Amino acid sequence: MKNFISSSKMLKILSMTIVFFVFAMMGCVKPNVLYGTWQDFEDDKIEFTTEGTFSASVRNSAENAIEERSGTYYVENNLIIFYFESGGNYNSAWEIDGGNLYITWADSEGNVLDKPLELYRTKMAE
């Protein structure tokens, strides 16, 4: 009597195990804390969607005028990478502390604002 599993049975067991772990990991994904609309009292506003897009209205540091920008974003720990529809990208550190989002921002000319934006959430993502 042989005490081994045939290679086809072993392959089926391995395949089922992999499928189980993939579904288990998908169920463990936490929603990104950035999702939703953030703004301040100076008309600066950034909206992050669950689809990985953003739209922003931020005061331009040189002209002191509101500048509209949009595109996609990617989050890796405390770094967010903005990919602008108009071209180019910008890497920013971010932090949520006490319910406020602190994030650095650069205008379309590449000028980084003197201080990070301090935004509060006004709407959760749907």
Extended beta strands in the chain, E state: 36-39, 45-48, 53-59, 66-76, 79-84, 89-97, 100-103, 117-124
**First-to-last CA distance in the chain?**
60
Dump pLDDT digits (tens) for 80-98: 999 999 999 999 999 999 8
CA 41 vs CA 77, 120, 122: distances in Å: 27, 9, 11
pTM of the full predicted structure? 0.72
What pLDDT band is residue 49 in, cutting at 50, 70 and 90?
very high
